[in-house]
Structure 1
């Protein structure tokens, strides 16, 4: 079990379009994604303001990226939080794909659809 900077236990749960993080059983954050052509495109990360500064976004992103690699998917970071994490943690470089024009077109169809 992973704990945040205060020592509180955290739980990361995978869903169909997001990973969520809970502290003491209360959901306090998420990272949203969409899967497309063998890639998991990370769109947005948020953590409840009351829980900022506890390292929760880093825990959430790390576990989401590890689960993505374990699922055999490649990573595309649209979300600035995920991109920033990947800039500092190069252990996912082997499964990282750039944000291409094709991915951007796909995202436009998803957002407009």
Structure 2
């Protein structure tokens, strides 16, 4: 299940790392965004492994769009949920394109000096 949400970065939490029971190195970093909905919600996302670098260069207050997957797992009869981000894009600022400059009389080229231009067949 792939979803996406837009919002402002509220917090970037400290990265975590360690070694699994199998001896493999792991790293993760969480970040929180606040949605732009009528009733804003805060959502905490997790980045794992090499995806942790996607948050580099971003800071609190920046508008982003996060693509993510939701994952649930059971442990000792209880269910735990992760919201795993897999793509982060800076949101477009929504500005309209710059309009072309105004047309003025100075933009009209001068008429040719010789009379040959006046002998057009139409």
The TM-score with structure 2 as length reference comes to 0.20
Q: Which has the larger radius of gyration?
A: 2
More helix, by proportion = 1
Structure number with the bigger relative contact order (C-alpha 8 A, sep ≥ 6) is 2
